Structure formats: structure tokens, C-alpha cells
Amino acid sequence: MSTLFINARLIDPEAGTDSPGAVLVRNGRIAAVEKDAANPAQMLQALGIAPEDVTKVDCGGKCLAPGIVDIGVKVCEPGERHKESYKSAGLAAAAGGVTTIVTRPDTTPAIDSPESLEFVTRRAQSDAPVNVLPMAALTKGRDGREMTEIGFLMDAGAVAFSDCDHVVSNTKVFQRALTYARSCGALVIAHPQEPVLSKGAAATSGKFAALYGLPAVSPMAERMGLDRDIALLEMTGAKYHADQITTARALPALERAKANGLDITAGTSIHHLTLNELDVAGYRSFFKVKPPLRSEDDRLAVVEAVRTGLIDTISSMHTPQDEESKRLPFEEAAAGAVALETLLPAALRLYHAELLDLPTLFRAMSLNPARRLGLESGRLAAGTPADLVLFDADVPFVLDRFKLRSKSQNTPYDGQRMQGRVEATYVAGEPVYRRD
């Protein structure tokens, strides 16, 4: 069974190219990629495939890119299935061009044992149409005291270890966990933040927070958290990924750590790339995320860091919250936003603003996250899994949150004009979503 995608605009993050071409998919994998001189007939001939054995998909000049690998998606099973299940998250991911979701362990209870991880894996396999790779907690109950069974959890399929937004504030515990994780070859994903300074904060300190009377945290708290973690990496040599770098002040430290050869990468969230603190105006709790939205200067610095590759990955930080937990005074409202379906359209804002080109966006959304996790996907290359997204980069639409497939609809982009929409998503060559 083969599928031939013709007349496509190929976005190849590895080569950094954006060019017309064709892709042949066979047995769930990419069999051949033909750029520029897109002559599908020759391509088939070279591979010895008869044209009648091939299903043709005419992409109509639309973009074909490696599917998105999203590190840090919260699916609310177990504990809060009414907010998001594997089924609803999987459908949302498929509709958003996300072919692999890497789930967070900050559920209730936390995923901190091989048994609970197995539950997640089973639920995901039966319900989600996309690839689901689970992360596990770094410490038991995510309470920063005792490390989890990192070895067993890896055997059970954990691809990374994270206490999510809980900072392991006990430096000795964190040091030991990093040391142990290194011996297992495990990737640790941390939330760089000085936990005491940022406690209770609902906004970033500045003119806006002062005017609105909101409890605020200095952007410096992120750098202080990152500085500590970098020092621990020098001590332990662990494999480390910062979940969200959102401030300009943290970037030089990250750059130095990379230059010094530490095994460190960093991500950022789509919200911090496309929104700033002023969007909260009128105390709109759908704009409450963690860490809080930053100043416009920070936003632009982070976009630039994605462009240069200093920040490696972009993720949705998909965090479903029900209406009840958002319809509260801003300080009391829950943090987080759903973003699986809006990740690509929101990222395309950066493309239309001419800040990032498409190969750069897909380097951060597909190639780099896959590489960091040691996956084969994320590339447009022969032999790799045919996880693909076909999208129209230009079509305009107005986002209606009630049309989202997530069980929770807490998106900050509700009612906003977006440009660019997913046409179809393929996992292992099979369509898991087609726009109707």
C-alpha cells in the first residue's frame, strides 16, 4: 500500500528548505522525497512501483511538513477526565497537525509509578489516533522529596521525567535525581523558576501588573531558576530540557551553558511566543498561564531565540481547564490554556509577521523535539515514519472556541483572526484527520 503526495510545498526542517515536490509513503514510512524537479512518474519508476498500485493525493500546492511532536501536553486522565480524555486530546491533536503528544505526569494522582504509567499507556493506545508518549514524574507525588523509580519507568515507556510546574526546591534532592537519571540515560525536563519568588504570582511584574493590582513575579525568577539548574548540570552531567524559557534575561545563561557543552536544551510555549502581558487586560482569565505572559520585549527576544536555534522547541503546553476553574477572579482562576488545535495556526502568526520561516517553525515544533527524545520522526526523509501534516498556510478564519475538539475550551485565541489551517494529518501514512 503506497500513497503518493504530489504537487506539495515541502517544508523540510532538516534541510531548511521550503520547495515544491512530492513524497512517496509506503508501509507507514516515507519511501522517497522528491524536491524541485517534481516528476512523480520518474520517482515511481526509480523505485520500481507501478503507477496503478499507488493512491495519489494532490496537495494542490499546500504545505506538507513532518507532523508536530508536542512535548508537555496535559491529558487529564487519570483524575479529571471531564476536562480532557485521551480520546478528546487525540482528536484535538490530529486536527492540529500534532502527530505525537508527549504527555505530562501532573495528573491526579501523578504518574509516578510503573503501574500508573501502564494505565496511561493502555488508555492512550486504545483511544488516541496519534502517537502518545508518556512522561513520568521525577519525584514521587511531584512533591520534591524522593525520586521515582526512573529505571522501571523507563522500561515501562517513560520518555522523560518531569515534575512539571513543581520546582524541586530541595537542591540536594534535585542533584541526586539528576545524577541518578544520568546513569539511566534519562531526560529530565524542569521548570526553571525560583519557587519562592514566583509563589502566588498571577502576572509578570511591570507597569501592567502594578496598574491592575495583581500579585506579580519578576522575570528574573526564571533566570535564577535556570542558573541553579545549570550549576547542577555542571555537577551531574545530566540530560536536561527546560520546559519553558520565556524571558530575555534567561537567554544569555542558556547560551553560555550550551557553549560550555552541557547537555541542555530549552523549549518555549506558543502562548509566550504570540501573546504578551497586555492581552490579560480586563482580567481575562483565559490568558492566565504559568509562567505568566511577559512583556513585548521578552516575547520578541524569545521569538528571536527560536529563530537562531538557542531555544530548541515550541510546544503547546496544552492545559485543559473547565469553565468553573476559569470563571473566577483572576488571582483565583486556574492557570493554563488548551492549544493542541491552535498551536499551528498561532505559530503561523510568526510566519505571517515575517519573524520566522516555515522550516524554522517546523524545526522547533517537529524536528528538535523528536531528536531530543530520540525519535525517528520529525523529519522529511526516506525511511522515517510517515507522520505528516498537510496545511494551508494562508487561509484566514476566526477562531470559535466552541468548535474545538478538546473537552475544555479555554483558549486565549477565542474570537481572534487566525491564518492557516490543517487540511489533513497522517500518522504512519494513515489519515487521522481530514478537514470536512
Burial of 188 (0-12, 13-18, 19+ CB in 10 A): buried
Burial of 261 (0-12, 13-18, 19+ CB in 10 A): exposed
| Shortest distance in whole angstroms from residue 212 CB to other proteins | 6
Burial of 390 (0-12, 13-18, 19+ CB in 10 A): buried
170 vs 218, beta carbon nearer other proteins: 218
| Shortest distance in whole angstroms from residue 226 CB to other proteins | 24
From candidates 52, 324, 354, 436, binder to other proteins by CB under 8 A:
324
Task: Write each residue from 210 to 239 as x if it is in contact with other proteins (CB under 8 A), else as -, in one continuous string.
Answer: xxxxx-------------------------
User: Comparing C-alpha atoms, which of 157, 79, 73 is closest to residue 122?
Assistant: 157
Position 321 contacts other proteins (CB under 8 A) = no
182 vs 284, beta carbon nearer other proteins: 284
Polymer length of the chain:
436
From candidates 14, 227, 263, 331, binder to other proteins by CB under 8 A:
331
Position 278 contacts other proteins (CB under 8 A) = no
Binding to other proteins, residues 283-302 (CB under 8 A) = 283
Task: Write each residue from 6 to 45 as x if it is in contact with other proteins (CB under 8 A), else as -, in one continuous string.
Answer: ----------------------------------------
- Give the binding-site size for other proteins (rule: CB under 8 A): 19
261 vs 329, beta carbon nearer other proteins: 329
Position 330 contacts other proteins (CB under 8 A) = yes
210 vs 278, beta carbon nearer other proteins: 210
> Which among 176-184, 266-274, 329-337, 389-397 is the span making contact with other proteins, rule CB under 8 A?
329-337
Side-chain-side CA neighbours of residue 137 (13 Å): 27
Position 82 contacts other proteins (CB under 8 A) = no
**CA distances, 6 to each of 48, 366, 384, 430 (Å):** 18, 22, 18, 16
| Shortest distance in whole angstroms from residue 399 CB to other proteins | 21
CA dist 390 and 5 (Å) reads: 10
14 vs 322, beta carbon nearer other proteins: 322
From candidates 41, 50, 52, 329, binder to other proteins by CB under 8 A:
329
- Angle 80-177-264 from CA coordinates, rounded to 5°: 90
The set of residues, in sequence order, having a beta carbon less than 8 Å from that of 151 and lying 6+ positions away, is 184
| Shortest distance in whole angstroms from residue 325 CB to other proteins | 10
**CA distances, 230 to each of 72, 253, 310 (Å):** 21, 8, 15
CA dist 265 and 275 (Å) reads: 23
Side-chain-side CA neighbours of residue 278 (13 Å): 7
The set of residues, in sequence order, having a beta carbon less than 8 Å from that of 206 and lying 6+ positions away, is 216, 277, 295
- Interacting residues toward other proteins by CB under 8 A: 200, 205-207, 209-214, 282-283, 324, 327-332
